[in-house]
Amino acid sequence: MGIEAIDPAPGATFRRAVLRQRWEDLTFLHWAVAPELVAPLLPAGTRPDTLDGVAHVGLIGFRMVGLGLGRGPGVPYFGSFWETNVRLYSVDGAGRRAVVFRSLDASRLVPVLVARAALRLPYMWSSMRLDRDGDRRVYRCRRRWPGPAGATSRMEVRVGDPVGEPTPLEHFVTARWGLHTRAYGRTLHLPNWHPRWPLHRAELLHLDDELVTAAGLPAPAGPPVSVLHSPGVPVAFGPPVALRRPG
């Protein structure tokens, strides 16, 4: 499957934004996994997106800032929170490459309830924090609801030098302008736009994680194949589009 050489222009995938937000202080951990292991976990009408025949599972921690509707301002208090997600990568029959979230832990209950109801996204309510000390970042998460209650994650990284030109793998796991989800009996594609990530390579100093296995995936075998950090990007989401049924 080919990889986009450039990021899409604003509005290339939708005419109006329904959600706006900013993602900040992100750390991306990725492991290689066999496509046949993740295929049953993807929404109907999609298949694993692979690089050189290999699929990937990601564990990403970050801060959501200024979540708001359309062109309006961010929602006070509820629009900013910590998040940790477990994700896979998909492609549909129209060739749209996207993210499939297996879990999204967030530190505000109201956004969790809204996202679960509106798009059936697997948001979880968790206690979470990020500690910064120079070039070190420590992400902590403990799930509250719905479960498995008490599932935890702690990852510590050291942020390194900026990435001048991403490798094919670094581009593959970050160059994503959409998500696939199953809601109300249909598979939906929700497009987004953001500028190309300003990336830094990073070193994983410590990882103690239960979220990947809680998301129905096998425990990672060995260290991640990619560790990246980004100071963040602004993001806009367009309206969801239902995938066409075959035939």
Q: What does the pLDDT read at residue 13? A: 55
Domains along the sequence of the chain with CATH = 19-242 (2.40.400.10)
Instruction: Report pLDDT digits (tens) over 90-135.
Output: 999 999 999 999 999 999 999 999 999 988 999 999 999 999 999 9
Are the CB atoms for 192 and 167 separated by under 8 Å?
no
Listed residue (42, 23, 31) closest to 100, CA to CA: 42
Give the pLDDT band of residue 12 (cuts 50, 70, 90).
low
What are the tens digits of pLDDT across the range 201-239? Answer: 999 999 999 999 999 999 998 999 999 999 999 999 999
| Position with higher pLDDT, 3 vs 141 | 141
- Return the ∠ at Cα 156 (arms to 153 and 158), rounded to 5°: 155
Determine how many CB atoms are found less than 10 A away from the CB of residue 66. Answer: 16
